[in-house]
Structure 1
Amino acid sequence: MAVLNDPSTHWWRHAVVYQVYVRSFADSDGDGIGDLPGITSRLPHIAELGADALWITPFYTSPQHDHGYDVADYCDVDPLFGSLGDADALIARAHELGLRVVVDLVPNHTSDEHEWFQAALAAGPGSPERARYIFRDSPDGPPNNWGSVFGGPAWTQVEDGQWYLHLFDSTQPDLDWRNPEVPAMFEDVLRFWLDRGVDGFRVDVAHGLFKEAGLRDQVLAEGAAASSGQVNTDHSMVSRELKDEPMWDQPEVHDVYRSWHRLLDEAGPDRMAVAEAWTQTPESMAAFVRPDELDQAFNFAWLLTDWSAEAFADVITSTLAAVAPVGASPTWVLSNHDVVRHVTRYGGGAQGLARGRAATLTMLALPGSSYLYQGEELGLEQVEVAPEDRQDPSYLRTGEAGRDGCRVPIPWGGTEPPYDFGPGSSQPWIPQPADWAPLTVAAQAADADSTLAFYRDALRVRREFAWSAGDEVEMLDLGAGVLAFRRGPLTVLLNCGAAAVELPEGELLMASGPVDGKLLADTAAWLR
């Protein structure tokens, strides 16, 4: 029998969480943009897939310069996506289907249309209103050499001569978390959504918030350009090549999360928060999930790893070693709205799909939570979006392809765009490829060998051992090119090599591809 408030029984410790990118999931009103009623109508798909929860990207009032990550009002729904009543209906329907709801929180910056920033511009230098943000005097140019994640300088000058910091787009001014008004406002935001029934928060740029107080120049390698990170279309939104980061991962941020931990505990034992924290090491990631801070942190090391048994093994052992001392559960993720879809990263086509399925099956066998990105259950690849259709602010600032290719709306049915994404016959906000008809949910639901059927089977079988198999992982040596480990009664194999390998003794529970006594290249299997 479970012990009340026993942290080892919290729902998120071994959950499968399905990420919904709100603009691209389902459209209810025919404007070509996904919305909250659209999500509600498609919740049965997520439940039938076997997920435990959904995480929804920002749907708050926003001018949409960064597609919702520039928030103008944290306690209302943008009319583009619906209303507060629609949010309430979504949460209620999800709970009816047994799904938890995690919403995005964006605490590092606001929109430049937020009432606080508009007041700051009107009030002028030295005012309490400007003290909520990071404004500085600097008559000879930007106050320091920091660069924006989206390209270009991280500072913009206003009419009276002061500069404000924006580590992302110039329409996303960074807040000054040393001002007590800022943490007080976000505690009110947390309470607002907890009172409406949400089960958790995904904390955007959780390693941000505080910057070194002196705002010193970044120390750069010889010949390197100033940067706060960069859009890296091969892997991640933020490159981890930086070594000196006065703008990220400052120690004061952990006090914020300790206060949020107390607030979440007051709301109930099953409320949680997961950090998007791009940190330098597994150990610095684990600092965000100490017992009195956040509950989970995204483990981007799994996503960033090349197709290699040795590399995968290193990520598993280093991640488990990092979270064990703080008693946290690890997370695993292969794709999200900021990265190239993993089927494409693994080579695309038949090989990319085989590797994507194999990596997913391996990930789902590990202790902890797995986060899935909408469309990966359909085997979707990255789309080459025409320049005239690109909308990512990183593309608009740098000319690089950006993240639009992983954000193309989901195909639900039919034989041509918009594939039942919404009513009407016109293309959605990012055009869908003309050859997606075999990849729709409807088409794959009728095919027992489809990627959708594979995901449904894998999540169904996973439920049989996710909680009972324990958190210990024993790495096995089955030869070069093969990742193998044992977790409780489960033996997991991933063949990253070129030649087939013999399967050990045991009952075959699941495989990512055909198995006939041997495990083919680019294939994974579960045995008991």
Structure 2
Amino acid sequence: MPVMPSTTYHKYDVTDFCDIDPEYGTMDDFKDLIAACHERGINVIIDLVMNHTSSQHEWFKTAADYLKNLPEGAEPDALECPYVDYYNFSRKMQGGYSKLNDTDWYYEAQFWSEMPDLNLGSQAVRDEFDKIVDFWFDLGVDGFRLDAAKEYYSGSVDKNVEVLSWFNSMVKEKKEDAYIVAEVWADQNTYAKYYESGIDSCFDFSFADSTGTIAAVLKNGSASSYGKALVSLQDNLSQYSDSYIDAPFYTNHDMARSAGYYSGDDSENQTKIAQAMNLLMSGSAFLYYGEELGMKGSGKDENKRAPMYWSEDAASNGMCKGPAGMDAIKMKYGALETQENDGNSIYQFVKQTIKLRNEYPEIARGTVAFEKSVSDDKICVIKKTYGDSEVLLVYNLASESVTVDLSSVTFGEKGGSDLEVGGVLLTDREEATFQNGTLTVPGYSVVIMK
């Protein structure tokens, strides 16, 4: 979510693109954050809203005042008021437009009347964002999340791709290793096309949410369908870019939290394994804060953005109130202070998953092959290849322990019987075993073979 000044708690109605909202702190605080992150080898990307501004942004207020004072019958002139070209004004009411008070004019505002859409075809607007990017790069920012990229020109993939192509070229000329990830909330066939712009990543919506691939497989699907979906995704994205970096995620600030997706005796283990299914995908995997604890929150947006659950004590240091209007939420699992001392907690499972992801570069960077012959409704086996190195990931996506014969799997110069266990992710206390090519995988667990 953006950190710029805004009239709302969510900050997507930006009033100044080159400052920090006081609710988050000061510019000096931001500089300290950047420095502390960089000292730890952590890159920082920020949420950049190019689709619209706040109605309280000086650009819009100036343009609105100009139109209100325009003589009857006169046409707006960008030479008199440059900002009138920054937005999409019309004398006709259209879909997604709002009326400009005290005038006969309307303006595009696809999300909300107080968030007027910018005219990204305007060179003047693009020049503004060129300067905005310079401002944040000078502060040490490493890249950008681009909000609502499919609404730059609602309904036009080609025009949106052109905007992203311009932005990507402009950014990479300034900072070659800057990272750009776009939010294109659409089906996979649509957001795959956005890779033609040259940007690094698009969020992978097809695997996310309560109806996405991950949750669907765990609730009523086949484990093999997960492996097939990974290969299908890879084939789809590679049509449009040979340098794409997938951006898998499981939930975000617009979706119900995943702990509420499952019920019954297996719900905690399903919550855990779902995180592994996301975090072990190739690309730059994203984890929404609090998911590593199994936080709950659904319904209105404020509930999905509850404060981080550091402690069960609401008055404890570090706890905050959350957005106004948020409902009282009874958490299903313990706070961080509890889970970090429990070796079998969701937090410890996610922590171990990230550790293994970092330990094996094949996981994040590898090309996926689905091992159909040793997969079934309960077991999914995939091979990831990165350069000359390979790893095998064996997922048991059922509740009971399953035995799988890996002896037929070819693995470089090794046969399946010659493999070794390189890591395990267990949702319960039963251990995985491997002997003479036969692997026994406990329920809702993952074994990495090398």
Alignment TM class, shorter chain as reference = 0.7 to 0.9
1:160 aligns with 2:103: yes
Q: Are 2:431 and 1:525 equivalent residues in the alignment?
A: no
Partner of 2:409: none
Note if contact 1:155-1:170 (Cα within 8 Å) is conserved in structure 2: yes
- Structure 2 vs 1, CA of residues 113 and 447 (structure 1 numbering), >3 Å: closer, same or farther? same
**1:295 aligned to 180, 192, 200, which one?**
200
Tell me by how many angstroms 1:313 deviates: 3.1
CA distance in 1 between partners of 2:424 and 2:397 (Å): 17
Residue of structure 2 aligned with 1:322, choices 236, 248, 268: 236
Structure 1 contact 94–100 (Cα < 8 Å) conserved:
yes
**Is the CA contact (8 Å cut-off) linking 1:411 and 1:420 kept in structure 2?**
no
Distance 1:253 1:76, change over 3 A: same
After superposition, where does 1:33-432 map in structure 2 within 5 Å?
Answer: 57-64=1-8, 67-124=10-67, 126-127=75-76, 128=78, 129-138=83-92, 142-143=93-94, 146=95, 154-210=97-153, 247-282=154-189, 284-290=190-196, 293-303=198-208, 304-305=212-213, 306-307=216-217, 308=221, 309-325=223-239, 326-327=241-242, 328-345=244-261, 347-348=262-263, 351-382=266-297, 401-413=299-311, 415-422=312-319, 429=324, 430=326
Alpha-carbon offset, residue 194 of structure 1: 0.8
Contact 2:266/2:399 (<8 A) preserved: no
Alpha-carbon shift at residue 364 of structure 1 (Å): 2.5
1:485 aligned residue: 382
Cα gap change, 1:501 to 1:84, in 2 (>3 Å)? same
- Could you say what secondary structure the match of 1:252 adopts? helix
| C-alpha contact 1:362 1:524 (8 A) present in aligned 2 | no
> 1:81 deviation in Å?
1.6
Query: Residue 331 of structure 1 aligns to which amino acid in structure 2?
Result: A
Q: Are 1:469 and 1:490, in contact at CA under 8 Å, matched by a contact in 2? A: no
1:266 positional shift:
2.7
Structure 2 CA distance, aligned partners of 1:103 and 1:310? 36
Bigger Rg over Cα: 2
Q: CA deviation at 1:512?
A: 3.6
CA distance in 1, matches of 2:303, 2:323: 14
Q: TM-score, normalised by structure 1?
A: 0.70
- Mapped to 1, the partners of 2:322 and 2:52 lie a distance apart of 32
Structure 1 position 520, deviation (Å): 4.4
Deviation at 1:362, TM superposition (A): 2.5
Residue of structure 2 in register with 1:495 after alignment:
396
Asked if the contact 2:382/2:394 (under 8 Å) is kept, the reply is yes
Report the TM-score, using the length of structure 2 for normalisation.
0.81
Moved more, 473-482 or 504-513: 504-513
C-alpha separation in 2, matches of 1:428 and 1:367: 34
Report the alpha carbon displacement of residue 94 of structure 1 after superposing the two structures with TM. 0.8
Identity %: 25
Closer/same/farther in 2, CA of residues 157 and 197 from structure 1, 3 Å limit: same
Is the CA contact (8 Å cut-off) linking 2:284 and 2:364 kept in structure 1?
A: no
Aligned letter for 1:288?
A: Y
Amino acid at match of 2:391: L
Q: Do the aligned residues in 1 keep the contact of 2:396 with 2:446 (CA within 8 Å)?
A: yes
Following the alignment from structure 1 to structure 2, what is the Cα–Cα distance between the partners of residues 348 and 381?
13
Give distance in 2, aligned partners of 1:114 and 1:410.
Answer: 30
Instruction: Single out whichever of 470-479 and 326-335 deviates more from structure 2.
Output: 470-479
Which among 432, 436, 440 is matched to residue 335 of structure 2? 440
Structure 1 residue 270 displacement after superposition: 2.0
Shift of 1:252: 2.2
Cα distance in structure 2, aligned partners of 1:286 and 1:427: 35
User: CA offset at residue 68 of structure 1?
Assistant: 0.2
Q: Which residue of 1 aligns with 2:367?
A: 472
CA distance in 2, matches of 1:161, 1:470: 55
2:378–2:398 Cα contact (<8 Å) kept: yes
* Residues 315-372 of structure 1: per-residue CA shift (max 9 Å, x gap): 3122101222411121211011111112212x14653331222122133333211100
Aligned-partner residue type, residue 318 of structure 2: F
- Structure 2: give runs of 5+ residues left out of the alignment: 407-419, 434-439
CA distance in 2, matches of 1:133, 1:402: 29
User: Over the residues paired in the alignment, what is the CA RMSD in angstroms?
Assistant: 2.5
CA distance in 2, matches of 1:107, 1:441: 35
Contact 1:342 1:356 in 2 (8 A): yes
Distance change (3 Å), C-alpha of 1:350 and 1:466 = farther
* Structure 1 SS opposite 2:303: helix
Mapped to 2, the partners of 1:203 and 1:501 lie a distance apart of: 43
Q: Unaligned stretches of 5+ in structure 1?
A: 1-56, 148-153, 211-246, 384-400
Is the 2:224–2:376 Cα contact (8 Å) retained in structure 1? no
Instruction: Output the CA distance in 1 between the equivalents of 2:366 and 2:187.
Output: 24
Tell me if structure 1 keeps the 8 A contact 2:280–2:363.
Answer: no
CA distance in structure 2 between the partners assigned to 1:259 and 1:76 by the alignment: 24
Give the Cα separation in 1 of the matches to 2:363 and 2:334.
34
Paired residues of 1:510 and 1:526 also in contact (CA < 8 A):
yes
CA shift for structure 1 position 433: 4.0
Q: Is the 8 A contact 2:363 2:384 kept in 1?
A: no
Amino acid at match of 2:254: D
Partner SS, residue 287 of structure 2: strand
* Distance verdict in 2 for CA 1:114–1:469, change over 3 Å: closer
**Does structure 1 retain, via aligned residues, the 8 Å contact 2:392–2:449?**
yes
CA distance in 2, matches of 1:465, 1:321: 23
Give distance in 2, aligned partners of 1:189 and 1:480: 50
C-alpha contact (below 8 Å) 1:61/1:72 kept by paired residues: yes
8 Å CA contact 1:411, 1:419 repeated in 2: no
Over 3 Å counting, the alpha-carbon distance change for 1:108 and 1:447 in structure 2 is same
Retained in 1: the 8 A contact 2:168–2:198? yes
